[in-house]
């Protein structure tokens, strides 16, 4: 008998938002599904960033800084300055409706996990999501015949599209690196105790405006054709949103400060 645990796909490393991920299984998860909850974005409150895909840069740039982090310089959307504080989610678990909801967030609690030997990825679900229930679900994962419901089929399609977009994003970043367009940047704020030495509150990789402006016309034409140009411009525009992050962070700190008296 094959050991199922040994053959199940695995998520490796720290995956933002996800806690207890299992491959979606019609037998094991019969009766499971999701319910409406009063604080639908509680799962996002402690995360000050989420991974981004290049296809959403043009939507996200009006709301968040889009930056590149880590050894692989993968893009993320900045939603706060420190772990444990997402300045777009209220204390009662509501998302600021004036701003774009990232695709990574809309995908939750579903996610894909890679399989060995180049086999197709497996759709998984975070069973610790607050709105996932084991019985009497408003939106069950499977119907009485064990077939995926319309809700689940749509979720699977979204996960598949996200996975494809993630691969496209990786290729986009590889091209940025090959062109040596990324440089280290930072965000500084005034230090009241030492006006001569502002405090650095964020460090990241971003596109160098000088190197971007120096690209030849034929390269820009190529980038316009493959979509890189629009993504880069959206990224550059998004860096103006740091002011919003700083302001909201200050407002949250003020609201949480103990009253004097």
Assigned domain for 254 exists = no
Note whether 69 and 205 are within 8 A (CB). Answer: yes
Let me know how long the chain is: 261
Note whether 87 and 248 are within 8 A (CB). Answer: yes
Cα 70 from Cα 84, distance rounded (Å)? 20
Enter the tokens of residue 233.
């411009």
Cα 174 from Cα 78, distance rounded (Å)? 21
Model confidence at 8, in pLDDT bands (50, 70, 90)? very low
Q: According to the model, what pLDDT value does residue 11 have?
A: 38
Is the pLDDT at 213 greater than 50? The verdict is yes
Residue with tokens 């990232």: 102
Assigned domain for 14 exists = yes
Assigned domain for 223 exists = yes
Cα 189 from Cα 199, distance rounded (Å)? 5
Within the chain, strands assigned E span 21-23, 33-34, 49-51, 66-69, 74-78, 110-113, 122-126, 132-133, 139-140, 182-189, 199-207
The stretch 11-30 carries a mean pLDDT of 83
Number of domains in the chain: 1
Assigned domain for 130 exists = yes
The residue range of the domain holding 182 is: 4-247
Residue 1 vs residue 258, higher pLDDT: 258
Model confidence at 35, in pLDDT bands (50, 70, 90)? very high
Model confidence at 1, in pLDDT bands (50, 70, 90)? very low
Assigned domain for 136 exists = yes
The stretch 10-16 carries a mean pLDDT of 55
Full-model pTM: 0.89
Cis amide prior to 142 (ω within 30 degrees):
no
DSSP for 3-35, written as a single string = -HHHHS----S--TT-SSEEE--TTTTTT-EE-
Residue 14 vs residue 101, higher pLDDT: 101
Distance of alpha carbon 178 from its chain centroid, rounded? 24
Q: According to the model, what pLDDT value does residue 252 have?
A: 86
Q: According to the model, what pLDDT value does residue 14 have?
A: 60
Q: According to the model, what pLDDT value does residue 258 have?
A: 64
Rg value, the chain, Cα: 21
Assigned domain for 253 exists = no
Cα 119 to Cα 13, 173, 191, 192, distances in angstroms: 20, 25, 53, 56
Note whether 80 and 201 are within 8 A (CB). Answer: no
Among 63-77, 106-120, 134-148, where is mean pLDDT lowest? 106-120
Q: According to the model, what pLDDT value does residue 10 have?
A: 41
Model confidence at 121, in pLDDT bands (50, 70, 90)? confident
The per-residue pLDDT for range 152-210, each reduced to its tens digit, is 999 999 999 999 999 999 999 999 999 999 999 999 988 788 888 888 999 999 999 99
Residue 198 vs residue 260, higher pLDDT: 198
Neighbours of 50 (CB within 10 A): 21
């Amino acid at each position: 008998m094959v050991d199922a645990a040994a053959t199940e796909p695995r998520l490796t490393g720290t995956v933002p938002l996800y806690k207890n991920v299992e491959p979606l299984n019609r037998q094991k998860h019969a009766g499971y599904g999701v319910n409406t909850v009063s604080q639908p974005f509680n799962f996002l409150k402690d995360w000050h960033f989420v991974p981004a895909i290049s296809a959403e840069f043009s939507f996200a740039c009006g709301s968040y800084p889009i930056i590149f982090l880590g050894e692989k310089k993968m893009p993320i959307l900045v939603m706060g300055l420190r772990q444990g504080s997402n300045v777009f989610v209220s204390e009662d678990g509501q998302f600021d409706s004036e701003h774009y909801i990232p695709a990574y967030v809309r995908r939750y609690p579903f996610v894909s996990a890679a399989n060995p030997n180049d086999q197709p990825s497996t759709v998984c679900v975070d069973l610790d999501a607050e709105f996932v229930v084991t019985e009497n679900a408003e939106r069950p994962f499977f119907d009485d015949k064990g077939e995926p419901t319309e809700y689940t089929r749509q979720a699977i399609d979204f996960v598949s599209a996200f996975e494809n977009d993630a691969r496209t994003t990786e290729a986009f970043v590889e091209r940025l690196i090959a062109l040596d367009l990324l440089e280290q940047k930072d965000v500084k704020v005034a230090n009241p105790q030492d006006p001569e030495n502002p405090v650095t509150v964020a460090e990241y990789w971003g596109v160098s405006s000088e190197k971007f402006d120096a690209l030849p016309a034929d390269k820009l034409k190529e980038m316009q054709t493959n979509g890189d140009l629009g993504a880069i411009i959206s990224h550059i525009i998004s860096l103006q949103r740091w002011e919003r992050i700083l302001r909201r962070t200050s407002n949250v700190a003020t609201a949480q400060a103990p009253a004097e008296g």
